[in-house]
Structure 1
């Protein structure tokens, strides 16, 4: 499934190319030669800028999140037909934050963790065991603690440029692009544009609680942003 931006005017960054007419295109991948054949195109015009997708590991269910700095994102649950590739919307929930950019499921698929880039909130949403649909929000972590952001959704720099003005605005407020979870601990990179970037470590439990355990500094190997982190097992 290929996600496409359908609007550019409400994004933190400035994509190249043209706005897509449809948001999601399903292809069949030939495993022998890598050829992709278009099977289905979504016709739901209400689904805007599906910036990120996550497939359920045990169900024919796909999750997408919509991206906009001007309004809260939506987490959309889709049923995927394995034959036709057609996507059928099962339901939609507000992400509780703006510029939603990342989705991940915990190991048991009981909860979905949702990252909102623009206002840096992290939400925990229940996942229905019978249908795989994303349910109501169970917990929200807000590093701003309710304080208004300094950056404005209606007047901001182009974050794609990553120049001095973009770096200054990006560091004026907390920003997040991803979370990684393992053994009940979340690693939360904070976007920045300097050699050392701020990272957060939180405790996560199945009952959806997010507890800020400590703040720490991760040394980056290059000068620039470091939006992603992951766990790896070293033998």
Structure 2
């Protein structure tokens, strides 16, 4: 199981909030990325938290700098609206791109990216909120609702060619109250692509609750690392018990 450090970025700073809102600065993205790499993280995801407001990604220079010190796979997301945007992100040194809003605007773009660059570099991002007993997909960093059920949308992303799914529970994100295990379990059964889960980790018991029921391919962590509540090794040791 891969451990991923998630860095949400606004105006050159790593930020963290609750439910993707109320964002607070927590550090320099390249300093944190290097620290997590040195601790042994498997991958790093840089997300432009305000890209949807401006229809562009502003992280290319941060990715270029990170590649000088970090030698694990790097993914970048936020504001990637065209094949040219993806080409620029990969050219800056990213190994993968993470796309949410752009896929809703044009699912055929996902197909084109998969054909041109390969599914292995393409992560379909789903921001999920529970409404009236079902999970709906949201866009624009969890701000705007869609009418799409998250499971059916994940299946469509698979058919379009994504190589992985990043599932963020907006309801749990930043709360430290645990993962949305019901959602994750359903998603893990419904899709054939590797599943990355994000949102809700606060303590060991939350990892136990997740891994006792389902096995995602990867877990993305943010607050617990940013605020030094646990190290990468702490998290790896906690997960290892379920992999033996």
TM-score, length-scaled by structure 1: 0.30
Higher helix share: 2
TM-score, length-scaled by structure 2: 0.29
User: Which has more radius of gyration?
Assistant: 1
Between the two structures, name the one with larger relative contact order (CA 8 Å, sep ≥ 6). 2
